[in-house]
Amino acid sequence: MKALILVGGFGTRLRPLTLSTPKPLVEFANKSIVCHQIEALVGAGVTEVILAINYQPQVMIDALQKFEKEYGIKITCSQETEPLGTAGPLGLARDIIMSGPDEPFFVFNSDIICDFPLLELVKFHKAHGKEGTIMVTKVEEPSKYGVVIAKESGEIQQFVEKPQEFVSNKINAGLYLFNRSILDRIEPRPMSLEKEVFPAMAREQQLYSMLLPGYWMDVGQPKDFLTGMCMYLASQREKHPERLASGPVFYGDVLVDPSAQIGAGCVIGPNVTIGPNCVIEDGVRLSRSTLFEGVTVKSHSWVSSSIIGWHSKVGRWCRVEGVSVVGEDVQINDELYINGGLILPHKTISSSIPEPGTIVM
Spatial neighbors of 31 by CB under 8 A, at least 6 apart, are: none
Strands 261-262 and 279-280: parallel
* DSSP per-residue codes, 155-175: BEEEEEES-SS-S--EEEEEE
What residue type is assigned to position 198 of the chain?
F
Could you give the CA distance from residue 129 to residue 153 in angstroms, rounded to a whole number? 12
Cβ pair 7, 24 in contact under 8 A: yes
| Interacting residues of 216 by C-beta distance below 8 A, sequence separation 6+ | 112, 113, 114, 137, 173, 231
Catalytic residue numbers?
Answer: 162
What is the spatial distance between Cα 93 and Cα 49, in angstroms, rounded to a whole number?
Answer: 11
CA–CA separation, 233 and 273 (whole Å) = 9
**Residues contacting 294, CB < 8 A, separation 6+:** 275, 276, 277, 278, 310, 311
**Those residues with Cβ within 8 angstroms of residue 166's Cβ, 6 or more apart along the chain or in another chain:** 142
Cα separation, 345 vs 173, in Å, equals: 32
361 exposure class (CB count in 10 Å sphere: 0-12, 13-18, 19+)? exposed
* CA distance linking residue 260 with residue 295, whole number of Å: 9
Which residues are CB-contacts of 211 (< 8 A; sequence separation ≥ 6)?
A: 135, 136, 137, 138, 170
Neighbours of 334 (CB within 10 A): 14
Cα of first residue to Cα of last residue in the chain, in angstroms, is 45
